[in-house]
Each structure stands twice: as structure tokens, then as C-alpha cells.
Amino acid sequence: MYQRILVTGATGFLGHHIVPALRRAFPAADLIAVGRRQCDLLQPGAADRLLADTRPDAVVHLAARSGGIEDNRLRPADYFYENLTINTATFHAAFRAGVRKFLTLMGGCSYPAKAVSPIGEDQMWNGFPQMESAGYSVAKKVILVQSWAYRVQHGFNSVVLIPGNVYGEYDNFNLTQAHVIPALIRKYIEARDRGDADIVAWGTGRPTRDFVYAGDVAATIPWFLANYDSSEPVNISSGTRISIRELAETVARVVGFHGVIRWDTSKPDGQMDKIFDVTRLRSLGLSCPTPLEEGLRRTVAWFEQARHEGTVRL
């Protein structure tokens, strides 16, 4: 189906999962996996040069600046500028190079802060994203407009997918930049190793979220690359609701932390309910089936090994 597939951001978190999935699905294709060290897409003209050098007929664009809420709050301009620049330049370069299909991902945080769960794709334009990550969220949201505009004017085939709260091996465990699951895993393992009697968690633990294992997200990408030809976005998540309190208790059990979890209710809870509607995903015959505890066990086992080897991002 494709002779040459270019993957940007291939050395990042999701890239580590998606590149092997693409290799398995398209064994005859020449897969070109590029990370930031090979090509800094922030540099003027870099995207055009990359497309000219590699001449792919499909692009899976994963390159992005991403991080947790605290880092987003401190550096909104960096998140906005870098993601907007990388996305618009790479998308346009792929169009100019005659790429047959361009596939990219955006975050569920781009949905409006007041979106009603379960959040369907039709709610994307019903309001502004949560302010703490608005720089990143709005920049990523622009790719939906670009996908629509280039399809209407040029017939350019692009696909935008919206993974939920993704976790798994190769994630970023730096506490300033990490999302909730890698942050909890690291904190609880370090507390376990120190022999701490308790650990403090923020908020009440009542908010609910929807988490999806990275391997499940990666497994859907080849199908979309082969079969989906629309600028209508698709949520890629489990659609399963879990409270932050239950998540914290599950992580503690998986890592073997036997101390007390103390909830600091002076800290904010954030959005109380954020679950993704996966009706459209399931209508395509796809799902993200890995149970949370199984995915956590795989992630914890990887983190412990990578920490021992010194290869984890801390």
C-alpha cells in the first residue's frame, strides 16, 4: 500500500509504540523513523528538506512539545509556538511533496474545559480548553482546521486522531513534565524504596478520568493509515471511567507501596469528570481493550528496568 512511510517524533513516547506497530503492519514498506536529533522541525525550511530527502508517500506526524500541567502553566508560549510551528510547517511540506496520506495526533485536552462527558468529537468547538494547558491545546487544535482546509481546497488526504489520557512504557517520568500516571508511579516507587509510611496526593480523589494504554493506541494507527480517509477526528481511548482515588490505590498496589495515601484537599481537583466517547472508534470495529491494571503492570515493570539501566526520562 505504501512504499515509504515517514514517522516524525519517532523517538518520543508514542513513537516507541507506533513505529513497531507500523513495521508489523507494513513489512514491505521502507519506514523512515526520525527524531529531533535527526531533524529539528522548528528550524526554518527543515520540514521541506526532510520531505524532499525522504520522499515518503505517507507521513505519521508525532513530533510535538508535550508535558504535564505544571510545565504547560509555566511555559504556555513555548508550547503554543513550538507546536503551531511544527504542525503547520510539516503538514504544508507534506502537501507540497505530494504525500498520499498525512496522519497526526492531538490531545484530548483540546476539548473545551466545559465539555460534557462522555466527550464526543462533535464537542470540539463548543468552547475554550482549560486555561492551564491552553497554549498547547489550542496549537494542536489548529491542525483540525488545516486538515479540513487542505482537503476542501486541494483534496489533500489527512487524518487527525485524538488519543485520551495515554500511559505506558517510554513515558516521561520527570515530575515537572509528567502526566498523572507516570508521576504517581515514580512517586510511589520512590516512597516504597525509602520505606515511607505515607504519601500525599492532591485533591479529594473524586475526579474521574479515562486512561488508555499506549500499545492500544499504537495498534489502531496502521488501520487508520490503510483505511480511514476523512478529516473527521476520532477519539482513541478506552471509554472506561475511574476515579483518581481508585487510580492512586491501584498504582500503590501494583508497585507494592503499603503506606497510607493522604489526600491534601486544599489542592485543586481540576475538571471533575472527563471521559471520552468512543462510539465512533467502535463503529469502525476498533477498541482499546487493555485493562488498566494490566497496562500499569507493564509500565511499572518497564520503569523499574529502565531506571536500573539509566534510560528513563527523570
Burial of 304 (0-12, 13-18, 19+ CB in 10 A): middle
Q: Which of 136, 150, 167, 188 is catalytic?
A: 136
Longest dimension (CA), the chain: 62
Nearest residue to 95 (alpha-carbon basis) of 40, 129, 57, 131: 57
Q: Exposure pattern of 220-233 as b/e (b: 16+ CB <10 Å)?
A: bbbebbeebeebeb
Does 136 qualify as catalytic in the annotation? yes
Nearest Cα to Cα of residue 65 among 76, 55, 57:
76
d(CA 244, CA 208) in angstroms, rounded, equals: 6
- 142: helix, coil or strand? helix
Q: Which three cell numbers stand for residue 282?
A: 467502535
The cell 476520532 sits on which residue?
234
Among residues 128, 107, 102, the alpha carbon closest in space to that of 237 is found at 107
| Positive or negative torsion for Cα 148, 152, 154, 157 | positive
Each residue of 32-67: b (16+ CB within 10 Å) or e?
bbbbbeebebeeeebbbebbeebebbbbbbbbbbbb
Catalytic residues: 136
